Amino acid sequence: MNNAKDLKDKYISFFESKGHKKIESAPVVPENDPSVLFNTAGMQPLIPYLMGEVHPAGTRLVDYQKCIRTNDLDEVGDKTHHTFFEMLGNWSLGDYFKKETISWSFEFLTQVLNIPVERLAVTVFKGDEDLPRDEESLSIWKSLGIKEDRIAFLGKEDNFWIAGETGPCGTDTEMFYFRSDDPIPEKYDPEDDRWVEIWNDVFMDHYKHEDGTFTELPKKNVDTGMGYERVVAVLENKDDNYMTSIWDNARNKLIEIANLPYEGNEKSMRIILDHIRTAVFISSDDAGIKPSNTDQGYILRRLIRRAIRHAKHLNIDINSNWDEELALIFIEEYKKYYSELERNKEVVINVLKDEKIKFNRTLEKGLKEFEKEIKKIENNIINKDIAFKLYDTYGFPIELTVELAGEKGLSVDTEGFKEKFKAHQELSRTASQGKFKGGMAGNSEIETKYHTATHLLNAALKEVLGSHVHQKGSNITAERLRFDFSNPEKVSKEDLQKVEDLVNEKIKEDLPVSYEIMSKDDAIKAGAEGMFMDRYEDEVKVYSIGDFSKEICGGPHVEHTNVLGHFKIKKEEASSAGVRRIKAILE
């Protein structure tokens, strides 16, 4: 197949013909899961429904989900890594199970994509002390015409899927395609990397608990995932993902802008293409992310700055519109599938422009500084002071300094950098608090009180409703606190009263509020609640309120609880599936 870009359309219509309803891709930032920065798999936005919530679109769904994985960000530059990718999926929410799933996967691969059966192999779960061997999938695959020699049984490392440590999960069966012109071996060997994974059907019927045990979910679900970029590469017979039709227009544009061939410049070109595309998808997303020094904004900043650095490397005039031209191509290519690209086009262009202006002011000087400093160093290590100066004065994300250093065969004292960074953060925090005290005394004080009240509320909810309660979001203004937490149902009036009373009781007890700095691991061991760990640091601040609450938090907090006054819950309502919201005030 020469052009497989229409794979998404084919996938959607195939599953629509099997009674599925198409749903829109969720935003790139998970709506109620502050523990991860971005959606990393198609199933993430559907977790509440896999757990039993009713989905408004029914029990058979099909979609393509925008996914972003940043743990491999520095790997981008080779043939296969991307920071953004799309995942195609069909879903059964307690509807069909193994027989239909596998038969439809087989039908789609062989009848719609016309892949010859000889090029296919599959793996199924071999069974262990927790879960039995998947005999059913084996017999379904055999009945469809997959030879036993092409079926391998593997353990949990391969044929089991879960999004994190706990949550909905299940065994899976995976499909592989023989991507090579070599003769196809009769027997499938999972170690032979000429076999490329193209699809994963997960039978999501279990829930994994914190203690490692499994229980069955109320319904048997199916979550399938097909990575779009990889399958297009397979279908178009390309071993470099960036050579597929997905990238043709953008790649050709970049070749034209740089006035250089792709061959010989692959690494920088792939980085630019990947990073600009991801920056387009992050900044166009309705989550409204802007470049910054924290969380998603920091990833966006890193992507743009790294792309700029590589553009410079290719001698592109970085003050020209090279980035905008590439962004417009991506917007054009994808807007049919993601309307936000067209809707937020101006936002995207402005994000790129502003960030480029900011970085350009210092990039040149920073690179000179870097060259100057490395001439002086003795032990091949860029020390923390240089790394920090490049960050603080020249806006070099630490990862950029590490990459530049790597190109010169040097390393960077990143641990030392982190320490300096932390000390600097403390300083600016104190400084900004100082400013608040001077100028806007009332504001800062009341917000600090609400911070502490939020911890009390979190702990009280856990005590009254149960340990399933976890923070899902929090927002504080000078007028009120707003707190989102996991709970399957509406909180009764009586329970709300108990929560309110308990918080007021703890306020009256005048508990001391204190903090300790410890490693993340120790904090978790100590049973600290934590959703907003500072992602730069391995060390975290753990706030305790007497023995009543322990939470990872940056602060600030009051020193004693009796200054909070009287706590009152004003409202309890649904926030989203499985998440409730409380608004409360101090009076």
CB of 63 or CB of 340, closer to ligand SER:
63
Residues 221-250 that bind ligand SER (CB under 6 A): 223-225
Q: Which stretch binds ligand SER (CB under 6 A): 9-17, 219-227, 335-343, 542-550?
A: 219-227
To ligand SER, the closest distance from the beta carbon of 93 in angstroms equals 14
Q: Which stretch binds ligand SER (CB under 6 A): 35-43, 288-296, 302-310, 370-378?
A: 35-43
Residue where the block lists tokens 């109320």: 218
To ligand SER, the closest distance from the beta carbon of 146 in angstroms equals 20
Contact between 43 and ligand SER per CB under 6 A: yes
DSSP labels for 74-118? GGBTBSS--SEEEEEEEEEESS--HHHHHHHHHHIIIIIS---GG
Asked whether the beta carbons of 113 and 13 are under 8 A apart, the reply is no
To ligand SER, the closest distance from the beta carbon of 65 in angstroms equals 9
- How far apart CA 67 and CA 265 sit, in angstroms, is 27
Among 200, 244, 278, 444, binds ligand SER (CB under 6 A): 200
- How far apart CA 366 and CA 374 sit, in angstroms, is 12
**CA 471, 472, 478, 479: dihedral to nearest 10 degrees?**
-100
Q: Which stretch binds ligand SER (CB under 6 A): 19-27, 39-47, 346-354, 357-365?
A: 39-47
Residues 147-176 that bind ligand SER (CB under 6 A): 161
To ligand SER, the closest distance from the beta carbon of 91 in angstroms equals 9
CB of 225 or CB of 556, closer to ligand SER:
225
Which DSSP category does 379 fall into? S
CB of 29 or CB of 542, closer to ligand SER:
29
To ligand SER, the closest distance from the beta carbon of 205 in angstroms equals 14
Nearest-CA neighbor of 257 among 305, 306, 327? 327
To ligand SER, the closest distance from the beta carbon of 443 in angstroms equals 44
Among 29, 41, 235, 400, binds ligand SER (CB under 6 A): 41
To ligand SER, the closest distance from the beta carbon of 502 in angstroms equals 39
Nearest-CA neighbor of 18 among 136, 120, 102, 122? 102
CB of 168 or CB of 556, closer to ligand SER:
168
Asked whether the beta carbons of 125 and 152 are under 8 A apart, the reply is no
To ligand SER, the closest distance from the beta carbon of 221 in angstroms equals 11
Among 68, 202, 513, 552, binds ligand SER (CB under 6 A): 202
Among 30, 42, 291, 397, binds ligand SER (CB under 6 A): 42
- How far apart CA 282 and CA 229 sit, in angstroms, is 18
CB of 202 or CB of 457, closer to ligand SER:
202
- How far apart CA 432 and CA 437 sit, in angstroms, is 9
- How far apart CA 160 and CA 217 sit, in angstroms, is 16
Token pair in block for residue 26: 């969720």
- How far apart CA 297 and CA 288 sit, in angstroms, is 10
To ligand SER, the closest distance from the beta carbon of 81 in angstroms equals 16
CB of 50 or CB of 542, closer to ligand SER:
50
Residues 75-104 that bind ligand SER (CB under 6 A): 89
**Run of H or E including 312:** helix 295-313
Helices (H), 202-294: 228-235, 248-258, 266-284
Residues 436-475 that bind ligand SER (CB under 6 A): none
Residue with smallest beta-carbon separation from ligand SER: 225
Q: Which residues pair with 161 in a beta bridge?
A: 170
CB of 41 or CB of 398, closer to ligand SER:
41
- How far apart CA 466 and CA 496 sit, in angstroms, is 13
# residues contacting ligand SER (CB under 6 A): 10
Burial of 468 (0-12, 13-18, 19+ CB in 10 A): exposed
CB of 64 or CB of 359, closer to ligand SER:
64
CB of 170 or CB of 578, closer to ligand SER:
170
Q: Quick one: three-class SS letters along 316-334?
A: CCCCCCHHHHHHHHHHHHH
CB of 64 or CB of 298, closer to ligand SER:
64
To ligand SER, the closest distance from the beta carbon of 87 in angstroms equals 6
CB of 221 or CB of 471, closer to ligand SER:
221
563 Cβ contact partners less than 8 Å away, ≥ 6 residues apart: 449
- Residues of this chain that interact with ligand SER (CB under 6 A) are 41-43, 89, 161, 200, 202, 223-225
